[in-house]
Amino acid sequence: MIPRSGSGCPVKAEIVKEFTFEAAHHLPEVGPDHKCSRVHGHLFKVEVAVEGEVDPVLGWVMDFGDLAVVSRQVIGELDHRVLNVLPGLANPTSENLARYLFDRLAARVAGVSAVTVHESPTSRCTWRPVRPVAPATTEVRITVGGLLFSAAHLLVLPPAIREPIHGHDYRMTMVVTLAPGVPGDIDGVLRSCAEAVAAELDHRFVLAGRPAVGRLEERGDSFALVVGDETVTLPRMDCVVLDVGNTTTEALAAWAAARIAARPEIAALRATRVEVTLVESLDASARAEATVG
C-alpha cells in the first residue's frame, strides 16, 4: 500500500494572482497645489484574490490560468490609457481603482474576494467587501514567516493530461490563533512545528496519493505515475506522497495547515486555528486554514 501523508483538507481556500499595467492619471479633487493634480503615470500592480471551496478531485479553487485569462482582459482595458477618461474613473485614486476592478472582475469570476492595487512599491489599497464583524474575543494571532522549502511536482488534469515535471521555491507563512497567557516560548514552539512540516516537503518530489487522473503505483524502489499512455517513474527515496488529488498550491497549503494543527505541541498551546499561506511563484499564492482538535 502506498504510504500517504494525511491532509485533513479544509473546505475553503483563497488564491491570489498578480498582474501589472501602465497608465496615466491625475486626481482632480486634491487641489492645484498637490503634485497628484498633475498628469503623471505609474506601473500599477494588481492582486486578484479568489476564495472558494477546494475541488476535492482537482485540488484547486480554480485554475490560475483561467483566472489569468479573465483578469488580463479586464485589467488590459486600463493599460496605456489615461484612467480619468474611462467611465467610472473620473477620480482614479487607488481606492476607486481597486473598487472599479473588483466590481468588473466579480461580475465575471465567482468568488472574487479582494482586489489590491499597488500604485507604487510602497503604496497600495485593498478593496474587500465588508463582512459582518465577529464578536470580540480574547484570542491572539501569532505569525511565523521566513519559512522556505523547495520541491518538485506536476499536476494531472482530465482527460489524461499531465504537466511537465517542474519545481518551485515555496515561501510559507503560518498564522496561529490561540488563547492569551500561554506560558513558555510560544514563538519558538510555533516556528519549530512549522519548520518540521516544511522539512517533510523540502527537496522532495511531491506526489498526489490519489491522483485526479491516472493512478500511482509502487514498483519496488520506485513510484510510477501512469497518466494515459505515459508513465513517469520516480525514485521512491526522492518522493513524499500526500493524501491529496493534486499537488496544487491550495492543496499543499491545506495539507500543511492540517499537518501543523495535528501536532501535539499546537494543541498544548490551546490553539484553535492554523492558517498557512504558500507563495508558489512571484505572481501566485494560496491560503488555507485548519481547525485544531
What amino acid positions are annotated as catalytic residues? 36, 80, 119
What is the 3 state secondary structure string of the chain?
CCCCECCCCCCEEEEEEEEEEEEEECCCCCCCCCHHHCCEEEEEEEEEEEEEECCCCCCCCCCHHHHHHHHHHHHHCCCCCEHHHCCCCCCCCHHHHHHHHHHHHHCCCCCEEEEEEEEECCEEEEECCCCCCCCCCCCEEEEEEEEEEEEEECCEECCCEECCCEEEEEEEEEEEEECCCCCCCHHHHHHHHHHHHHHHHCCEEEEECCCCCCEEEEECCEEEEEECCEEEEEEHHHEEEECCCCCCHHHHHHHHHHHHHCCHHHHHCCEEEEEEEEEEECCEEEEEEEECC
Residue with cell 518540521: 196
